[in-house]
Structures are given as structure tokens and as C-alpha cells.
């Protein structure tokens, strides 16, 4: 059975210790502890070692880029505090204190090589740092926001309004009918790449209703949201979504794509889907196991005909 707690980017989370976020004295001491664990991100890209894991530093990380935004992520099972630092986009490894210890990696590519806990920490930090980067000013009065609560909140210096990092709910779904599943592709994807359909949940609708609506809008296929089968969910830091996966039984099978959303869509039999997942298809391939789309496809493909 697919379990969201085992989903890549969500598995092996640390204790968030939210009660420490407003304790400035504790945070300052924790950041200086000899056993503190600190990793670095630059423009959404984590610093990775050769083995694919995060480069973990101790209190010396404070000297790498003094004044860089700091995020308290929580504590590990041993009670060790875990922090992330957001380095300036122009920060260069060459000539720095950490030259040679690793390389900044594109998150999509790097996530597949990270241990589960590293991937969860990096995913969380990436979402929060990107959110702060685009929410520097108050949406209420236009004043300058200050980062508070160890990186988990922004507060306007002028009107005092509090702003909390948002997570956007996204439905990602597979319509199925008569032993076939509906797959689609967008025009900017690599040749042969296919996946589930997906779309944001809108105000006033459930996530199941969003799944059925998006399937109809993008491919013209009618599904009843009342019978949507939940599979699992996954945090997705691009920039900060919660992907909620479903399988829906289609009531129609005639495809009519929205060319603004999809380049093409087609029905794929279960046997062919198994070939795609196994990497043995002659022309098609799907998202890797780091993405929830892979697991939705797999759940359906492994069922009996």
C-alpha cells in the first residue's frame, strides 16, 4: 500500500520543535552548539557532497556567508538542532571557506540522490526560502516584512500584519477506464516524456472536485469526483505545493485536449504502462520515483486486469 509518510521528500522527517521558533535565546545557543547540523542552499539549490547527500556543517557555517538568512528546521532523534542557511545568489564556492566540499545541485536532479531525511530537510528549506524571497513586502500595507519565528513567519514592520508561508493544494490524477489510463504531455517536456494530469485546487471546491475538473478542462474526459480514489500526497517545493494524488474512473473516453495545457493525451493499456514504468518502452518514459506521479501510475499499473 502506498503511504504518504514514505513518499520521497516527505519520508524521515525530523521533529520540527515549533515551540522553539520564538525562543531567540535558545536559537542563538543552538546555532553555536558543537553538534549543530547546518546545510546550505543557494537560489533553491542545496549544497551536495559527492555521495549525493547534503554537506552538513557545524557552527563554522556562520563564517561562510555572515548575515545570510537562517531557518530553524527542528531537531533530529538525538535532539541535535538542524538549521539551513540561504546564501546569496552570487555566492561562489571558488575562493570561499567551503571550496571543494561539494557542489550546488539542481533540486530536481539532486533529490534523487539524497538520503530521505536530507531530501525532506532540503525540500522544506527550499520552499520557505523561496517564499520569503517573493514576500518581502506586506500584502496589506506595502511595508517591509521582517522574517520572524526562526524563518517560519514574516511580519510587517509598519502595520504588524503577520504572513505565513503558503502551501498550494494541487490535484494530480489518473483517469482510468476499461483497463486503460489517461496520460498526457506538455509541449516543453522532453520528447517521449508523459505523466498524470494535474492542476491547482480553486477556492470553493474540494480537492476531489479539482481533480475531476482539471481532467475535463485539459482532456475533455468526464469523471465523478464522488468516486475519486485517494492514493497519497507529497510536498513539492516548486515552489511550494502539496501534491494530492487520485485515481478516478472515467465516464467518457473521447479525448478533447486544451492545447494551452497539453500538447497531447492518450489512453494507455496497463501492460504498456508497466513497460513505461520499467523503462522498457520503445518511445515513452515517465517521472522518476522521486515524483508522486510515478507512484500513482505504479499503483494502477500493478493492479490485476
- Residue 66 neighbours by CB under 8 Å, 6+ apart: none
Are 51 and 112 found together in one domain?
yes
Its pTM stands at 0.95
Domain count, the chain: 3
pLDDT single digits (tens) 125-164: 999 999 999 999 999 999 999 999 999 999 999 999 999 9
Last residue of one domain, picked from the residues 114, 134, 154? 134
Are 130 and 12 found together in one domain?
yes
pLDDT single digits (tens) 33-56: 999 999 999 999 999 999 999 999
pLDDT single digits (tens) 63-106: 999 999 999 999 999 999 999 999 999 999 999 999 999 999 99
Are 129 and 44 found together in one domain?
yes
pLDDT single digits (tens) 190-215: 999 999 999 999 999 999 999 999 99
Cα-based torsion angle of the residue sequence 33, 38, 43, 44 in order, rounded to the nearest 10 degrees: -140
> Are 206 and 244 within 8 A, CB to CB?
no
Q: For the CA atoms of the chain, what is the radius of gyration?
A: 22
99: domain range? 4-134
Are 106 and 141 found together in one domain?
no
Are 226 and 179 found together in one domain?
yes
Are 103 and 218 found together in one domain?
no
Take residue 296 and report the three cell numbers written for it.
500513482
The DSSP secondary structure of 262-304, one letter per residue, reads: -SEEEEEEHHHHHHHHTT--SS-B---TTSHHHHHHHHHHTS-
Are 8 and 116 found together in one domain?
yes
Nearest to 170 by CA among 131, 132, 134, 197: 197
Last residue of one domain, picked from the residues 126, 144, 166? 166
Are 82 and 64 found together in one domain?
yes
Are 91 and 27 found together in one domain?
yes
Residue 166 clears pLDDT 60, i.e. is over it:
yes
Are 253 and 294 found together in one domain?
yes
Amino acid at each position: 500500500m502506498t503511504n504518504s509518510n514514505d513518499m520521497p521528500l516527505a519520508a524521515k522527517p525530523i521533529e520540527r520543535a515549533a515551540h522553539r521558533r520564538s525562543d531567540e535565546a535558545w536559537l542563538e545557543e543552538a546555532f553555536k552548539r558543537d553538534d549543530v547540523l547546518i546545510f546550505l542552499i543557494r537560489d533553491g539549490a542545496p549544497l551536495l557532497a559527492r555521495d549525493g547527500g547534503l554537506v552538513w556543517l557545524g557552527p563554522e557555517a556562520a563564517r561562510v556567508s555572515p548575515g545570510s538568512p537562517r531557518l530553524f528546521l527542528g531537531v533530529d532523534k538525538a535532539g541535535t538542532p538542524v538549521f539551513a542557511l540561504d546564501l546569496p545568489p552570487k555566492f561562489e564556492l571558488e575562493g570561499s571557506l567551503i571550496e571543494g566540499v561539494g557542489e550546488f545541485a539542481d533540486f530536481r536532479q539532486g533529490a534523487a540522490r539524497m538520503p530521505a531525511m536530507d531530501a525532506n530537510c532540503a525540500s522544506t528549506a527550499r520552499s520557505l526560502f523561496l517564499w520569503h524571497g517573493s514576500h518581502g513586502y506586506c500584502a496589506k500595507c506595502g511595508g517591509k516584512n521582517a522574517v520572524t519565528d526562526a524563518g517560519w513567519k514574516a511580519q510587517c514592520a509598519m502595520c504588524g500584519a503577520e504572513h505565513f508561508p503558503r502551501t498550494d493544494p494541487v490535484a494530480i490524477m489518473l483517469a482510468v477506464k476499461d483497463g486503460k489510463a489517461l496520460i498526457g504531455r506538455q509541449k516543453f517536456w522532453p520528447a517521449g516524456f508523459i505523466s498524470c494530469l494535474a492542476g491547482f485546487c480553486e477556492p470553493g471546491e474540494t480537492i476531489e472536485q479539482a481533480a475531476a475538473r482539471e481532467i475535463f478542462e485539459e482532456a475533455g474526459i468526464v469523471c465523478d469526483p464522488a468516486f475519486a480514489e485517494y492514493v497519497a500526497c507529497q510536498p513539492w517545493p516548486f515552489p511550494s505545493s502539496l501534491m494530492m494524488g487520485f485515481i478516478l474512473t472515467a465516464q467518457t473516453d473521447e479525448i478533447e485536449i486544451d492545447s494551452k495545457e497539453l500538447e497531447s493525451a492518450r489512453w494507455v493499456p496497463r501492460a504498456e504502462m508497466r513497460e513505461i514504468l520499467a523503462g522498457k518502452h520503445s518511445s515513452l518514459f515517465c517521472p522518476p520515483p522521486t515524483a508522486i506521479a510515478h507512484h500513482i501510475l505504479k499503483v494502477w499499473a500493478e493492479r490485476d486486469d
